[in-house]
Structures are given as C-alpha cells and as structure tokens.
Amino acid sequence: MISTLLTLLVLSGCGLRLDGPAPAEPVPDADEVSRQAMVADATAIHDGAQDALAVVAPDSSEAASLNQIIDFSALHSAALGGVYASGIDHSGDDSAPDQGQTELEPGSVSPSDGVTPAPPVPTTEPAPASSAEVVALLAQSAARARGSLVTPTDPLLARLYASIATSQFESARDLAAQAGLEFTAPEAFTTTMPTTLPLNLSASDLATVVRSEDSTGFAYEVMAARLSDDARTLATERARVHRARAQTWAELASLDGTSTDPRQVAYTLPTAADGGSALATNETIAALAAQLEDTLATTYATLTGEVDADNRAAMADLLVDSRAAARAWGAPLVAFPGMPEQAATTP
C-alpha cells in the first residue's frame, strides 16, 4: 500500500512545476558603483548639451563646441561600458506584495455629493539646458571623477577616469570661451607635486619622468630665445615649471646628484613634421611645444594607473596641467587626453 502511494506521488510530480528562487540582482562592487556614477554623469552631459544645442545658432562656434561635447560624452560612456543592464527579466516578477488595490478606468468613479475634485496639476516642460549649465555639469563631473580616483581597484580604470576628467575639464573651458562665459576651474584641481615618492613606480618610470620633465624644460629655454612677446613669456614660464618638476622628481627618487641621475646638460630637439627644424618658424615652435606637453600628458596618465590610490589625483592634476599647456600652444581637444591609443575613436 505504501509503495503504491509513493509511486502515485512520483508520477503526479511529473506534472508539477517546481520553481526555484528568482535570480537576484548582483551586488555591485566599488569599481562598478563608481563606473555607473561616471556613466550617469556622461549621460547627463550628453543630454544637457543636446538641449542647449537647440537654443544656439547652428553655425556658431558655441554650437560646434556643444556638438563635440555630445560626441565626446557618447565616447566616454561607451569606453566606460555603458549603462548597466543585468539581463534579468523582471517582467513576470510578482514577488511584490499585493496591496489589495484595483486599477480603475479614468472617469469610472464620480465625485461624491458636495465634494469638489482637486483640479489637475498643470505640467510644464522644463526649460532647455543652457551652455552655462553644461559648463557647470562638465566641471562638476570632472571634479567628481578626480575624487573617485581612489576607488578603482583596476589601474586601467583609474587611468580612464583621469583621462575623462581631463577631457571634461577642457571641454568646460572651451565651451565657456565660445559662449562668452567666465570659467572658474574646480577647486579640487591643483598642480602641487607629491611631497613623498608615490608607491609602485619602477626605477625606469622614475628615470623617464625626470628626463622627460628636464628635457621639456630645456626645449622651452631654447624656444624662448626664438620667440617674442606673450609666446616668449609663456615658454619661459613653462621652462621654469618643468625644470622645477624634474628637480622635485629627482629628489623624491633619490636620483639628484647621483651617477644614475638621467638629466643631461643638453638634449637633441625633435624635428618638425616636414623633417625640418622645429625652430624654423613660430608655427613649428608652437607645434613642438604642444607635442612635448602631450608627451608629458601621456606619461602622467600612465602614472595615474600605476601609483598608489592616494597619489592618483596628483598625477591626474599634472595630466590636466600638461594638457592645458598643450592647448595653449594649439593642440586640439581630444576625447581621451593622455591615451593616444584611443585617438582613432575621436571624431
């Protein structure tokens, strides 16, 4: 008798659907939380720039800047991995408790006698974002990205954050200039050198940054002798800045005054794009200066991904500074400053 009952239960069980628990959303780690915040900022900038574009002259330099911001924001979002989607289907999820409420058709319930229904709340479309608001979004996002540099456990992600922050900083300054707005750099960004040697840097890394800073300072001194007026003043100031940074790095790395100090008395300057002298004209000198600053920007973007988390922001600040100088010499805006391997993605 018992065996017969067990057989019936087994057979009847074949017709039952034995459901397990629904798949749960994965809990994001610190990298994913910061990544999603970066994507949200890029999306807000993209949408704000599109709104602002609708209220400016389509053939103006302001419109050109907004269009570039739209392109760059889309590239930033894509490089970050886009908006998160778990792939879990919640369309049939009935786990939410039923509150015993039934949805009624509009107008199916008449107001009670003596009771006046509340008038409908008028809805208005929000005003389109202005260029000033887009500048603010860019500056705020750049500052947040800089502040998030301590979070990623992935060094490549930290490098990407620093590059995007720099791009947003530059786009904010450019849009402000095209729209006739005053731009104030976020207070978070500084150009203060580290006071102690950052961790995780190899002897090769340190020799490279010392030599790069010192050779750039030397090149500026030579260029300053060929320039005049404002260009000469800028070259002289940048020569001072880079020589001082080379000295600081040499001291931090304990290279100063040793036989392994990579600095030289003089350096060979690169040639111009046409193979001629880089000092031939003011234009070739400006191109050389922009090239040298961009090379340093790439160095500092790389170091951002290598140093310990506490020193990433300082490396990002030096990346921003080098790119600002490159821009002053005529370098174009790019979506990923300091990441030349991404150049093919820039419109």
pLDDT in tens, 135-190: 999 999 999 999 999 999 999 999 999 999 999 999 999 999 999 999 999 999 99
Residue 56 DSSP symbol: S
d(CA 312, CA 293): 19
Residue 119 is predicted with a pLDDT of 57
Give the DSSP letter of residue 193: P
Which structure tokens are listed for 30? 């610190």
Among all chains, which residue has been given the structure tokens 């404002």?
230
Q: What is the phi/psi pair of residue 195, to 5°?
A: -95, -15
pLDDT band for 111, please (50, 70, 90 cuts): very low
* pLDDT tier for residue 22 given thresholds of 50, 70 and 90: low
The reported pTM is 0.82
6, 14, 67, 148, 224 from 236: Cα distances, Å: 94, 86, 35, 34, 6
Percent of the chain surpassing pLDDT 70: 78
Contacts of 311 (CB under 8 A, 6+ apart): 194, 198, 199
For residues 154, 40, 162, 319, the Cα torsion angle rounded to the nearest 10 degrees is 180
Query: Distance of alpha carbon 199 from its chain centroid, rounded?
Result: 23
Q: What is the separation of C-alpha 117 from the centre of its chain, rounded to a whole number of angstroms?
A: 51
Can you tell me the distance from the alpha carbon of 183 to that of 178, in angstroms, rounded to the nearest whole number? Answer: 11
Which H or E run contains 16?
none
Angle ∠(41,42,45) on CA atoms, nearest 5: 85
Phi and psi (nearest 5°) for 326? -60, -40
Q: Determine contact, residues 201/303, Cβ cutoff 8 Å.
A: yes
Residue labelled with tokens 């456990």: 153
Q: Tell me, what's the pLDDT at 83? A: 84
CB 168 within 8 A of CB 45: yes
Q: What is the pLDDT of residues 198-207, one digit of tens each?
A: 999 999 999 9
Please name the residues in contact with 188: beta carbons below 8 A apart, sequence gap of 6 or more.
143, 146, 147, 313
